[in-house]
Amino acid sequence: MTHRAFISAVGHYVPERIVTNSELSKLMTTSDEWIQTRSGIKERRFAADHEAPSDLGVHAALNAAKQARTGLNDVDAIICASLSPEHYFPGTSSFIQSKLGLVGVPSFDLRAQCSGFIYGLSVANAMVTSGEFKKVLLIGVEVHSRGLDFTDRGRDCAVLFGDGAGAVIIESCPSPEHGFLKTKISADGRFADKLWVEFPTMKRTPIMTQSDLEAGGLHPKMDGKFVFKTAVEKLPQVIDSTLSSINLQTKDIDLFLFHQANLRINEFVAATMNLDKAKIPSNIEKYGNCSAASIPILLSEQMQLGTVKRGDLICIAGFGSGFTWGCSVIRWF
């Protein structure tokens, strides 16, 4: 019988530099009170000048490697989920692979924005259970700070995002009862422009004009209310359908690890689904929204706190630009 895949190691890294809401309020018209009441965020981390996205990813991978019996030696594929790539091409995964000294190991980037880590779980799970790959390193990494508009024009997004990285190793589970029980991913591309960076674009020449630049086209644009409304509709749907497909209910879950986009989104989902708040840890107050890195950072911190135990049922869920969303249910090994 083919065993399920499971997460065998977890690690994370966040840059040292803490940026508080008050610090941001010196750059734009905003306040600690506005940011905290709307999002739950108190501070976030910004990468140092010398830190590239791949550096954050490497730190997270090496921290995960400390938990792995054979380190990263027998990793046979690398996936990097990110919406803030080091370069236009090749993907950040190429730089991570080289810095880790894993030359020859296939590596690729996965672009599913804030759902990137859950999409990555789905892909890595399929790679391992197919028997084609034995040990997949999945990294979620973001350096948002260099792409944000720290003027009043970009303040709706600038206050929400932070930098960080999380990594997991996925391999075949030694036990038939444990591992990934079900992962569902979904998308609705009709709303791609509700949260996006429009330029540069390969859909026309020139790929960016001076006026695009002056209009802030290099920075994220978001219809915040629409994103919020759609997230609180899609998350309960995907959680319910994932759980019911394996005959589980929300009350069976020991720990919900939700993407850290906005505390209010997660509180809304918890209220709608009547979830026990004690089972929904949060770290958005410390890190803001780290997109593809948020969930693995949260998982890694929960592991360090000892809240994740063998046999626990973990429900991971998230929503993001694209729109993309997904849910994964794991029996922890």
Ligand X SMILES: CC(C)(COP(=O)(O)OP(=O)(O)OC[C@H]1O[C@@H](n2cnc3c(N)ncnc32)[C@H](O)[C@@H]1OP(=O)(O)O)[C@@H](O)C(=O)NCCC(=O)NCCS
Active site residues: 114, 259, 289
DSSP letters, 215-234, are: TTTTS-EE-HHHHHHHHHHH
Q: Report, in Å, the least distance between residue 28 CB and ligand X.
A: 7
Can you tell me which of 63, 266, 289, 300 binds ligand X, judged by CB under 6 A?
A: 289
How far is it, in rounded angstroms, from Cα 19 to Cα 100? 29
Binding positions for ligand X, 126-155, rule CB under 6 A: 155
Residues 6+ apart with CB under 8 A from 165: 12, 13, 14, 53, 56, 57, 59, 60, 139, 140, 141, 142, 290, 293, 296, 297
Instruction: Annotate each residue in 44-83 with x if it binds ligand X (CB under 6 A) or - if it does not, as one string.
Output: ----------------------------------------
* Contact pattern for ligand X over residues 185 through 214, marking x by CB under 6 A: ------------------------------
Contacts of 42 (CB under 8 A, 6+ apart): 20, 21, 32, 35, 36, 285, 286
Lateral strand order in the sheet of 135-142: 5-13, 164-172, 135-142, 77-81, 107-110
Q: Which is nearer to ligand X, 38 or 182 (CB)?
A: 38
Which one, 99 or 111, has the nearer CB to ligand X? 111
Contact 103, 47 (CB under 8 A): no
**Among residues 50, 69, 225, 309, the one that binds ligand X under rule CB under 6 A:** 225
Residue 230 binds ligand X (CB under 6 A)? no
Among 30, 107, 122, 125, binds ligand X (CB under 6 A): 30
**Number of CB atoms found within 10 A of residue 332's CB:** 17
Our CB check for ligand X shows the closer of 133 and 161 to be: 161
Q: Which stretch binds ligand X (CB under 6 A): 31-39, 63-71, 99-107, 131-139?
A: 31-39
When the beta carbons of 38 and 99 are compared against ligand X, the nearer one is 38
Q: Is 34 an interacting residue with respect to ligand X (CB under 6 A)?
A: yes
Residues 6+ apart with CB under 8 A from 326: 115, 118, 119, 122, 183, 184, 185, 186, 238, 317, 318
Q: In terms of DSSP bridges, do strands 195-196 and 221-222 run parallel, antiparallel, or are they unpaired? A: antiparallel
Q: Is residue 240 a contact point for ligand X (CB under 6 A)?
A: no
Q: Can residue 227 be called a binding residue for ligand X (CB under 6 A)?
A: yes
User: Residues in contact with ligand X, total (CB under 6 A)?
Assistant: 18
What residues line the site for ligand X (CB under 6 A)?
30, 34, 38-39, 114, 155-156, 159, 222, 224-225, 227-228, 261-262, 265, 289, 320
